[in-house]
Amino acid sequence: MFNKLLSLKRFSTKPIKIDFQNLTSQSYDLSSDIEKAFGLNGLGFAVITNIPSYQEYRKKVLASGYKLTHEPEEVIKSISKPEIHNAIGFDDIPFITKGDKVNKMFCSFTARNLRNSLIYPSHPEMERDHSNVWPNSLPKFKENFLHLGKLINSCQANLLRHMSNYITQCDSSFNNKLANDFKDEIKQDSYSRLITYFPPDKYIHEREGDKYVWDDWHTDYSLLTALTHPLYFTKEGEVYPSGHSSLNIKDRQGNPHEVVYEENELAIQASDALFILSGGRLLATPHSVRISKKMPLNLFRINLAVFFQPNYNYIMNIPGGEEFKDIIKKDPMKFEFENAPFKNGMDYGKYFEDSLDYLLSRK
What is the dihedral sign for C-alpha 214, 58, 299, 137? negative
Question: pLDDT at position 142, please?
Answer: 98
The values of phi and psi at residue 189, to 5°, are: -130, 145
Beta bridge partners of 46: 16, 268
User: For residues 150 and 57, is the Cβ–Cβ distance under 8 A?
Assistant: no
Rounded CA separation 155/266 (Å): 9
Beta bridge partners of 215: 289
Secondary structure (3-state) at 233: strand
Question: pLDDT at position 209, please?
Answer: 56
The values of phi and psi at residue 231, to 5°, are: -120, 135
Rounded CA separation 60/49 (Å): 19
Question: pLDDT at position 339, please?
Answer: 72
What is the dihedral sign for C-alpha 67, 96, 312, 172? positive
The total domain count for the chain is 1
Of 245, 267, 258, 243, give the one whose Cα is nearest residue 18: 267
pLDDT tens for the chain, 363 residues long, are: 443 333 233 344 678 999 999 999 999 999 999 999 999 888 999 999 999 999 999 999 999 999 999 999 999 999 999 999 889 999 986 655 555 454 567 899 999 999 999 999 999 999 999 999 999 999 999 999 999 999 999 999 999 999 999 999 999 999 999 999 999 999 999 999 999 988 888 776 665 556 677 777 889 999 999 999 999 999 999 999 887 676 789 998 889 888 889 999 999 999 999 999 999 999 999 998 887 777 888 899 999 999 999 999 999 999 988 999 999 988 888 887 767 789 999 999 999 998 888 776 643
User: For residues 153 and 264, is the Cβ–Cβ distance under 8 A?
Assistant: no
Angle at 278 between CA 344 and CA 354, to 5 degrees: 45
Q: Which strands, in side-by-side order, build the sheet including 247-250? A: 213-218, 287-290, 247-250, 256-259
* Gyration radius of the chain's alpha carbons: 20
Helix (H) or strand (E) holding 109: strand 106-112
Which residues 6+ apart lie within 8 Å of 352 measured at CB? Answer: 221, 309, 312
Question: pLDDT at position 218, please?
Answer: 86
Question: pLDDT at position 4, please?
Answer: 36
Q: How many C-beta neighbours within 10 Å does residue 179 have?
A: 19
Residues of the domain holding 97: 2-360
Question: pLDDT at position 206, please?
Answer: 62
Can you give 275-298 as a three-state secondary structure string? Answer: HHHCCCCCCCCCEEEECCCCCCCC
Rounded CA separation 289/322 (Å): 34
Rounded CA separation 267/255 (Å): 19
The values of phi and psi at residue 224, to 5°, are: -135, 140
CATH code of the domain covering residue 49: 2.60.120.330
Alpha-helical (H) ranges within 84-123 are none
Question: pLDDT at position 190, please?
Answer: 97
Could you tell me how many residues make up the chain? 363
